[in-house]
């Protein structure tokens, strides 16, 4: 049995955990679009404003999401009873 087979990896992340981050990101996108609309007299500035806002905020959003994801990963050792039950269920599945 390899070392990875002795542990159970489980992700408990739900939409509710990242819902606030999604709402903030939508707010950033709408703010950048509002900035672009206000600068439409100069289209180059409008595109630059959207690009700057999105590019500057993306690393913060990704960092927040990755930290949230890592905090919801559970690693727990598998007991010998669970290993025996898993082997028994594999035998039944293979026999059927």
pTM attached to this predicted model: 0.63
Give the Å distances, CA to CA, from 30 to 18, 24, 70, 84.
19, 10, 28, 54
State the Cα–Cα distance between residues 61 and 41, nearest whole angstrom: 30
State the Cα–Cα distance between residues 93 and 36, nearest whole angstrom: 59
Look over the chain and give the mean of its residue pLDDT values, rounded to a whole number.
84
Query: Which residue, 83, 70, 66, is CA-closest to 8?
Result: 83
Domain ranges in the chain are: 8-95
Confidence of residue 93 (pLDDT cuts 50, 70, 90): low
Task: State mean pLDDT over 42-52.
Answer: 89
- pLDDT of res. 70: 92
């Amino acid at each position: 049995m390899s070392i990875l087979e002795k542990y159970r990896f489980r992700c408990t992340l739900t939409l509710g955990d990242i819902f606030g981050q999604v709402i903030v990101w939508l707010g950033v996108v709408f703010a950048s679009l509002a900035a672009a609309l206000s600068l439409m007299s100069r289209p180059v500035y409008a595109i630059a404003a959207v690009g700057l806002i999105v590019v500057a905020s993306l690393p913060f959003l990704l960092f927040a999401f990755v930290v949230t994801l890592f905090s919801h990963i559970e690693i727990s050792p598998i007991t010998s009873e669970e290993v025996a039950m898993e082997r028994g269920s594999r035998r039944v599945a293979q026999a059927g």
